[in-house]
Structure 1
Protein backbone atom coordinates (compact mmCIF):
# COMPACT_ATOMS: atom_id res chain seq x y z
CA UNK A 1 0.00 0.00 0.00
CA UNK A 2 1.39 3.39 -0.99
CA UNK A 3 2.07 6.11 1.58
CA UNK A 4 -0.74 8.27 0.18
CA UNK A 5 -3.27 5.45 0.57
CA UNK A 6 -2.13 4.82 4.15
CA UNK A 7 -2.56 8.51 4.94
CA UNK A 8 -6.06 8.46 3.44
CA UNK A 9 -7.00 5.39 5.47
CA UNK A 10 -5.70 6.97 8.68
CA UNK A 11 -7.74 10.11 7.99
CA UNK A 12 -10.85 8.02 7.41
CA UNK A 13 -10.32 6.16 10.69
CA UNK A 14 -9.75 9.42 12.57
CA UNK A 15 -12.91 10.98 11.10
CA UNK A 16 -14.90 7.88 12.00
CA UNK A 17 -13.63 8.02 15.59
CA UNK A 18 -14.48 11.72 15.86
CA UNK A 19 -17.98 11.10 14.50
CA UNK A 20 -18.56 8.36 17.08
CA UNK A 21 -17.12 10.43 19.96
CA UNK A 22 -18.89 13.71 19.19
CA UNK A 23 -22.48 14.73 18.56
CA UNK A 24 -22.48 16.26 15.09
CA UNK A 25 -26.18 16.54 14.32
CA UNK A 26 -26.56 20.11 15.60
CA UNK A 27 -28.30 22.27 13.01
CA UNK A 28 -26.86 25.64 12.03
CA UNK A 29 -30.28 26.82 10.90
CA UNK A 30 -31.62 26.31 14.42
CA UNK A 31 -28.94 28.69 15.71
CA UNK A 32 -30.00 31.33 13.18
CA UNK A 33 -33.67 30.99 14.11
CA UNK A 34 -32.83 31.09 17.83
CA UNK A 35 -31.04 34.38 17.20
CA UNK A 36 -34.05 35.75 15.32
CA UNK A 37 -36.38 34.73 18.17
CA UNK A 38 -34.05 36.42 20.67
CA UNK A 39 -33.96 39.66 18.68
CA UNK A 40 -37.75 39.70 18.44
CA UNK A 41 -37.96 39.07 22.18
CA UNK A 42 -35.41 41.80 22.87
CA UNK A 43 -37.41 44.17 20.68
CA UNK A 44 -40.57 43.44 22.65
CA UNK A 45 -38.66 43.87 25.90
CA UNK A 46 -37.22 47.17 24.73
CA UNK A 47 -40.70 48.40 23.84
CA UNK A 48 -42.04 47.38 27.26
CA UNK A 49 -39.18 49.13 29.10
CA UNK A 50 -38.69 52.26 27.01
CA UNK A 51 -41.94 52.68 25.11
CA UNK A 52 -42.25 53.48 21.38
CA UNK A 53 -40.04 56.59 21.57
CA UNK A 54 -37.30 55.40 23.90
CA UNK A 55 -33.66 56.06 23.11
CA UNK A 56 -30.52 54.02 23.58
CA UNK A 57 -28.86 56.47 25.94
CA UNK A 58 -26.84 54.83 28.70
CA UNK A 59 -28.39 54.46 32.14
CA UNK A 60 -26.49 53.58 35.30
CA UNK A 61 -29.61 52.02 36.78
CA UNK A 62 -31.90 49.18 35.80
CA UNK A 63 -35.60 48.40 35.70
CA UNK A 64 -37.11 47.78 39.14
CA UNK A 65 -40.86 47.64 38.41
CA UNK A 66 -42.01 44.10 39.22
CA UNK A 67 -44.71 44.05 36.55
CA UNK A 68 -42.19 44.91 33.82
CA UNK A 69 -39.65 42.43 35.19
CA UNK A 70 -42.15 39.57 35.06
CA UNK A 71 -43.20 40.53 31.53
CA UNK A 72 -39.54 40.36 30.48
CA UNK A 73 -39.19 37.04 32.27
CA UNK A 74 -42.09 35.47 30.36
CA UNK A 75 -40.76 36.85 27.07
CA UNK A 76 -37.43 35.17 27.84
CA UNK A 77 -39.24 31.90 28.59
CA UNK A 78 -41.12 32.12 25.29
CA UNK A 79 -37.86 32.70 23.41
CA UNK A 80 -36.28 29.74 25.21
CA UNK A 81 -39.24 27.47 24.40
CA UNK A 82 -39.25 28.41 20.70
CA UNK A 83 -35.47 28.03 20.44
CA UNK A 84 -35.44 24.61 22.11
CA UNK A 85 -38.39 23.35 20.05
CA UNK A 86 -36.84 24.56 16.79
CA UNK A 87 -33.43 23.17 17.75
CA UNK A 88 -34.81 19.72 18.57
CA UNK A 89 -36.93 19.49 15.42
CA UNK A 90 -34.15 20.63 13.06
CA UNK A 91 -31.56 18.43 14.78
CA UNK A 92 -33.84 15.41 14.39
CA UNK A 93 -34.39 16.29 10.74
CA UNK A 94 -30.65 16.60 10.10
CA UNK A 95 -29.89 13.34 11.90
CA UNK A 96 -32.58 11.44 9.99
CA UNK A 97 -31.33 12.86 6.71
CA UNK A 98 -27.82 11.60 7.44
CA UNK A 99 -28.99 8.32 8.93
CA UNK A 100 -27.59 9.13 12.37
CA UNK A 101 -28.94 8.17 15.77
CA UNK A 102 -29.70 11.29 17.83
CA UNK A 103 -29.82 9.54 21.21
CA UNK A 104 -26.32 8.09 21.54
CA UNK A 105 -23.53 8.18 24.16
CA UNK A 106 -22.18 11.47 22.76
CA UNK A 107 -25.53 13.25 22.86
CA UNK A 108 -26.14 11.97 26.40
CA UNK A 109 -22.79 13.35 27.59
CA UNK A 110 -23.46 16.64 25.79
CA UNK A 111 -26.89 16.93 27.43
CA UNK A 112 -25.56 16.17 30.92
CA UNK A 113 -22.61 18.56 30.66
CA UNK A 114 -24.78 21.34 29.29
CA UNK A 115 -27.68 20.78 31.68
CA UNK A 116 -25.71 21.24 34.90
CA UNK A 117 -24.68 24.89 34.25
CA UNK A 118 -28.07 25.66 32.65
CA UNK A 119 -30.16 24.34 35.54
CA UNK A 120 -27.83 25.94 38.07
CA UNK A 121 -28.04 29.24 36.20
CA UNK A 122 -31.81 28.97 35.88
CA UNK A 123 -32.25 28.45 39.62
CA UNK A 124 -29.77 31.25 40.37
CA UNK A 125 -31.66 33.65 38.08
CA UNK A 126 -34.97 32.66 39.69
CA UNK A 127 -33.48 33.46 43.12
CA UNK A 128 -32.23 36.81 41.82
CA UNK A 129 -35.69 37.52 40.44
CA UNK A 130 -37.44 36.66 43.70
CA UNK A 131 -34.93 38.63 45.78
CA UNK A 132 -35.15 41.70 43.57
CA UNK A 133 -31.58 41.70 42.20
CA UNK A 134 -32.78 42.61 38.73
CA UNK A 135 -29.60 44.28 37.51
CA UNK A 136 -27.60 41.06 37.32
CA UNK A 137 -30.24 38.82 35.70
CA UNK A 138 -29.17 39.54 32.10
CA UNK A 139 -25.43 39.16 32.88
CA UNK A 140 -26.10 35.93 34.80
CA UNK A 141 -28.06 34.43 31.90
CA UNK A 142 -25.20 35.17 29.50
CA UNK A 143 -22.52 33.87 31.90
CA UNK A 144 -24.22 30.58 32.74
CA UNK A 145 -25.23 29.99 29.12
CA UNK A 146 -21.64 30.59 28.04
CA UNK A 147 -20.37 28.15 30.68
CA UNK A 148 -22.91 25.56 29.50
CA UNK A 149 -21.73 25.90 25.89
CA UNK A 150 -18.06 25.55 26.86
CA UNK A 151 -18.88 22.44 28.91
CA UNK A 152 -20.89 20.93 26.04
CA UNK A 153 -18.29 21.76 23.39
CA UNK A 154 -16.18 18.73 24.38
CA UNK A 155 -18.84 16.50 22.82
CA UNK A 156 -19.74 18.44 19.69
CA UNK A 157 -18.28 20.97 17.23
CA UNK A 158 -15.45 23.17 18.54
CA UNK A 159 -17.31 26.23 17.21
CA UNK A 160 -19.67 25.87 20.18
CA UNK A 161 -16.78 26.59 22.56
CA UNK A 162 -16.00 29.92 20.88
CA UNK A 163 -19.65 30.92 21.04
CA UNK A 164 -19.61 30.09 24.75
CA UNK A 165 -16.49 32.16 25.40
CA UNK A 166 -18.01 35.16 23.62
CA UNK A 167 -21.19 34.78 25.69
CA UNK A 168 -19.09 34.81 28.88
CA UNK A 169 -17.27 37.97 27.78
CA UNK A 170 -20.58 39.69 27.02
CA UNK A 171 -21.91 38.60 30.41
CA UNK A 172 -18.94 40.18 32.18
CA UNK A 173 -19.35 43.40 30.19
CA UNK A 174 -23.07 43.46 30.96
CA UNK A 175 -22.24 43.25 34.67
CA UNK A 176 -20.25 46.47 34.34
CA UNK A 177 -23.13 48.26 32.58
CA UNK A 178 -26.43 47.20 34.21
CA UNK A 179 -28.39 49.82 32.26
CA UNK A 180 -27.67 48.01 29.00
CA UNK A 181 -29.01 44.57 29.95
CA UNK A 182 -31.40 44.28 27.00
CA UNK A 183 -28.70 45.40 24.56
CA UNK A 184 -26.18 42.81 25.77
CA UNK A 185 -28.90 40.16 25.90
CA UNK A 186 -29.82 40.83 22.27
CA UNK A 187 -26.15 40.77 21.25
CA UNK A 188 -25.46 37.50 23.06
CA UNK A 189 -28.59 35.53 22.32
CA UNK A 190 -29.51 37.29 19.08
CA UNK A 191 -26.59 38.53 17.00
CA UNK A 192 -24.03 35.94 18.13
CA UNK A 193 -26.47 33.09 17.52
CA UNK A 194 -27.19 34.29 14.00
CA UNK A 195 -23.46 34.56 13.23
CA UNK A 196 -22.74 31.18 14.84
CA UNK A 197 -25.67 29.51 13.09
CA UNK A 198 -24.59 30.91 9.71
CA UNK A 199 -21.04 29.61 10.20
CA UNK A 200 -22.33 26.20 11.27
CA UNK A 201 -24.74 26.03 8.34
CA UNK A 202 -22.12 26.78 5.69
CA UNK A 203 -19.44 24.59 7.31
CA UNK A 204 -21.44 21.49 8.21
CA UNK A 205 -25.00 21.55 6.84
CA UNK A 206 -24.43 22.09 3.12
Structure 2
Protein backbone atom coordinates (compact mmCIF):
# COMPACT_ATOMS: atom_id res chain seq x y z
CA UNK A 1 0.00 0.00 0.00
CA UNK A 2 1.36 3.39 -1.01
CA UNK A 3 1.60 6.30 1.41
CA UNK A 4 -1.14 8.12 -0.53
CA UNK A 5 -3.54 5.17 -0.20
CA UNK A 6 -2.70 4.86 3.47
CA UNK A 7 -3.48 8.54 4.11
CA UNK A 8 -6.73 8.21 2.15
CA UNK A 9 -7.82 5.25 4.29
CA UNK A 10 -6.98 7.14 7.47
CA UNK A 11 -9.03 10.09 6.22
CA UNK A 12 -12.02 7.86 5.45
CA UNK A 13 -11.83 6.18 8.86
CA UNK A 14 -11.66 9.55 10.56
CA UNK A 15 -14.67 10.75 8.57
CA UNK A 16 -16.70 7.68 9.49
CA UNK A 17 -15.86 8.10 13.18
CA UNK A 18 -16.84 11.76 13.01
CA UNK A 19 -20.18 10.93 11.34
CA UNK A 20 -20.95 8.24 13.91
CA UNK A 21 -20.35 10.62 16.84
CA UNK A 22 -22.29 13.58 15.45
CA UNK A 23 -25.93 14.11 14.61
CA UNK A 24 -25.84 15.04 10.92
CA UNK A 25 -29.47 15.32 9.80
CA UNK A 26 -30.19 18.89 10.93
CA UNK A 27 -31.53 21.00 8.07
CA UNK A 28 -31.26 24.72 7.41
CA UNK A 29 -35.00 24.76 6.69
CA UNK A 30 -35.63 24.13 10.38
CA UNK A 31 -33.84 27.35 11.26
CA UNK A 32 -35.70 29.33 8.59
CA UNK A 33 -39.10 28.16 9.81
CA UNK A 34 -38.17 28.79 13.46
CA UNK A 35 -37.22 32.36 12.55
CA UNK A 36 -40.46 32.90 10.64
CA UNK A 37 -42.52 31.56 13.55
CA UNK A 38 -40.71 33.92 15.93
CA UNK A 39 -41.36 36.96 13.74
CA UNK A 40 -45.04 36.06 13.28
CA UNK A 41 -45.36 35.54 17.03
CA UNK A 42 -43.71 38.90 17.71
CA UNK A 43 -46.16 40.59 15.34
CA UNK A 44 -49.11 38.98 17.15
CA UNK A 45 -47.73 40.14 20.51
CA UNK A 46 -47.12 43.67 19.23
CA UNK A 47 -50.59 44.19 17.80
CA UNK A 48 -52.72 42.21 20.25
CA UNK A 49 -50.97 41.69 23.59
CA UNK A 50 -49.04 44.85 24.39
CA UNK A 51 -51.36 47.54 25.77
CA UNK A 52 -48.85 50.28 24.99
CA UNK A 53 -46.49 50.16 21.96
CA UNK A 54 -43.76 51.69 24.14
CA UNK A 55 -43.94 48.88 26.72
CA UNK A 56 -42.36 46.02 24.80
CA UNK A 57 -42.11 42.82 26.83
CA UNK A 58 -43.47 44.59 29.92
CA UNK A 59 -45.70 41.83 31.30
CA UNK A 60 -49.13 42.81 32.59
CA UNK A 61 -51.62 40.66 34.45
CA UNK A 62 -54.08 40.90 31.54
CA UNK A 63 -51.78 39.45 28.89
CA UNK A 64 -49.23 37.49 30.95
CA UNK A 65 -50.84 34.10 30.33
CA UNK A 66 -51.49 34.91 26.69
CA UNK A 67 -47.86 35.90 26.19
CA UNK A 68 -46.62 32.67 27.78
CA UNK A 69 -49.03 30.68 25.61
CA UNK A 70 -47.74 32.47 22.51
CA UNK A 71 -44.12 31.73 23.41
CA UNK A 72 -45.02 28.09 24.06
CA UNK A 73 -46.81 27.88 20.69
CA UNK A 74 -43.73 29.28 18.89
CA UNK A 75 -41.49 26.75 20.64
CA UNK A 76 -43.81 23.82 19.90
CA UNK A 77 -44.21 24.77 16.23
CA UNK A 78 -40.43 25.09 15.87
CA UNK A 79 -39.79 21.72 17.53
CA UNK A 80 -42.46 19.88 15.51
CA UNK A 81 -41.23 21.42 12.24
CA UNK A 82 -37.61 20.56 13.05
CA UNK A 83 -38.60 16.99 13.91
CA UNK A 84 -40.54 16.49 10.66
CA UNK A 85 -37.82 17.96 8.44
CA UNK A 86 -35.03 16.16 10.31
CA UNK A 87 -36.85 12.81 10.15
CA UNK A 88 -37.43 13.14 6.40
CA UNK A 89 -33.79 14.08 5.78
CA UNK A 90 -32.52 11.22 7.93
CA UNK A 91 -34.65 8.70 6.05
CA UNK A 92 -33.48 10.10 2.73
CA UNK A 93 -29.82 9.74 3.77
CA UNK A 94 -30.36 6.38 5.51
CA UNK A 95 -29.21 7.83 8.83
CA UNK A 96 -30.48 6.89 12.30
CA UNK A 97 -32.76 9.51 13.86
CA UNK A 98 -32.59 8.27 17.44
CA UNK A 99 -29.36 6.86 18.84
CA UNK A 100 -26.81 7.55 21.57
CA UNK A 101 -25.55 10.64 19.75
CA UNK A 102 -29.06 12.11 19.54
CA UNK A 103 -29.55 11.53 23.26
CA UNK A 104 -26.27 13.27 24.09
CA UNK A 105 -27.17 16.18 21.84
CA UNK A 106 -30.59 16.64 23.47
CA UNK A 107 -29.17 16.31 26.97
CA UNK A 108 -26.48 18.92 26.36
CA UNK A 109 -29.02 21.22 24.71
CA UNK A 110 -31.72 20.88 27.35
CA UNK A 111 -29.60 21.33 30.50
CA UNK A 112 -28.80 25.04 29.96
CA UNK A 113 -32.14 25.65 28.22
CA UNK A 114 -34.30 24.21 31.01
CA UNK A 115 -32.12 25.86 33.66
CA UNK A 116 -32.58 29.20 31.94
CA UNK A 117 -36.31 28.66 31.53
CA UNK A 118 -36.77 27.93 35.22
CA UNK A 119 -34.67 30.96 36.18
CA UNK A 120 -36.70 33.23 33.88
CA UNK A 121 -39.99 31.95 35.34
CA UNK A 122 -38.67 32.62 38.86
CA UNK A 123 -37.75 36.19 37.85
CA UNK A 124 -41.14 36.73 36.22
CA UNK A 125 -42.94 35.51 39.32
CA UNK A 126 -40.92 38.08 41.27
CA UNK A 127 -42.13 40.72 38.78
CA UNK A 128 -38.66 41.27 37.36
CA UNK A 129 -39.54 41.58 33.69
CA UNK A 130 -36.86 43.84 32.26
CA UNK A 131 -34.23 41.21 31.43
CA UNK A 132 -36.60 38.53 30.12
CA UNK A 133 -35.61 38.90 26.47
CA UNK A 134 -31.86 39.05 27.16
CA UNK A 135 -32.02 36.00 29.45
CA UNK A 136 -33.91 34.01 26.80
CA UNK A 137 -31.28 34.86 24.20
CA UNK A 138 -28.31 34.14 26.47
CA UNK A 139 -29.51 30.78 27.78
CA UNK A 140 -30.66 29.68 24.32
CA UNK A 141 -27.25 30.63 22.93
CA UNK A 142 -25.50 28.68 25.68
CA UNK A 143 -27.68 25.66 24.90
CA UNK A 144 -26.71 25.80 21.22
CA UNK A 145 -23.00 26.11 21.96
CA UNK A 146 -23.17 23.30 24.51
CA UNK A 147 -24.90 20.95 22.04
CA UNK A 148 -22.84 21.96 19.00
CA UNK A 149 -20.12 19.37 19.62
CA UNK A 150 -22.67 16.64 18.86
CA UNK A 151 -23.80 17.95 15.50
CA UNK A 152 -22.22 19.12 12.27
CA UNK A 153 -22.46 22.56 10.75
CA UNK A 154 -21.85 25.86 12.43
CA UNK A 155 -24.54 25.71 15.10
CA UNK A 156 -22.08 27.10 17.63
CA UNK A 157 -21.82 30.34 15.64
CA UNK A 158 -25.58 30.78 15.87
CA UNK A 159 -25.17 30.23 19.60
CA UNK A 160 -22.45 32.86 19.82
CA UNK A 161 -24.69 35.30 17.97
CA UNK A 162 -27.56 34.66 20.37
CA UNK A 163 -25.31 35.19 23.40
CA UNK A 164 -23.88 38.45 22.04
CA UNK A 165 -27.36 39.70 21.18
CA UNK A 166 -28.53 38.84 24.69
CA UNK A 167 -25.64 40.66 26.34
CA UNK A 168 -26.16 43.78 24.23
CA UNK A 169 -29.88 43.57 25.00
CA UNK A 170 -29.10 43.51 28.73
CA UNK A 171 -26.96 46.63 28.31
CA UNK A 172 -29.72 48.47 26.43
CA UNK A 173 -32.91 48.19 28.53
CA UNK A 174 -36.10 49.07 26.73
CA UNK A 175 -35.15 47.40 23.45
CA UNK A 176 -35.80 43.80 24.47
CA UNK A 177 -38.58 43.35 21.92
CA UNK A 178 -36.34 44.30 19.02
CA UNK A 179 -33.44 42.13 20.22
CA UNK A 180 -35.83 39.19 20.70
CA UNK A 181 -36.95 39.52 17.06
CA UNK A 182 -33.34 39.85 15.93
CA UNK A 183 -32.10 36.85 17.90
CA UNK A 184 -34.94 34.38 17.50
CA UNK A 185 -36.16 35.68 14.16
CA UNK A 186 -33.52 37.18 11.91
CA UNK A 187 -30.51 35.20 13.19
CA UNK A 188 -32.39 31.94 12.70
CA UNK A 189 -33.39 32.87 9.17
CA UNK A 190 -29.86 33.98 8.25
CA UNK A 191 -28.25 30.89 9.74
CA UNK A 192 -30.87 28.56 8.23
CA UNK A 193 -30.47 30.13 4.80
CA UNK A 194 -26.68 29.72 4.86
CA UNK A 195 -27.00 26.09 5.96
CA UNK A 196 -29.66 25.37 3.32
CA UNK A 197 -27.46 26.77 0.54
CA UNK A 198 -24.56 24.63 1.76
CA UNK A 199 -26.82 21.58 1.71
CA UNK A 200 -27.85 22.31 -1.87
CA UNK A 201 -24.23 22.67 -2.98
CA UNK A 202 -23.26 19.36 -1.38
CA UNK A 203 -26.01 17.42 -3.18
**TM above 0.5:** yes
Gaps of 5+ in 1: none
> For residues 125 and 136 of structure 2, what CA distance do their matches in structure 1 show?
15
1:35 shift after superposition? 0.5
2:97 is the alignment partner of 1:102: yes
Gaps of 5+ in 2: none
> For residues 70 and 169 of structure 2, what CA distance do their matches in structure 1 show?
19
SS in 2 for 1:23: coil
Please give the TM-score of this superposition, normalised by the length of structure 1: 0.89
1:20 shift after superposition? 0.4
2:10 is the alignment partner of 1:10: yes
1:60 shift after superposition? 9.4
The aligned counterpart of 1:159 is: 154
1:72 shift after superposition? 2.3
Higher helix share: 1
> For residues 68 and 131 of structure 2, what CA distance do their matches in structure 1 show?
13
2:111 is the alignment partner of 1:142: no
Q: Give the stretch that moved more between structures: 63-72 or 115-124.
A: 63-72
The 1:204/1:14 distance shift into structure 2, 3 A limit, reads: farther
Residues 107-153 of structure 1: CA distance to partner in whole angstroms, max 9, x if unpaired?
A: 11101111101111111111122111111111111011001001000
- Compute the RMSD of aligned alpha carbons: 1.9
1:6 shift after superposition? 2.9
Please give the TM-score of this superposition, normalised by the length of structure 2: 0.91
SS in 2 for 1:46: helix
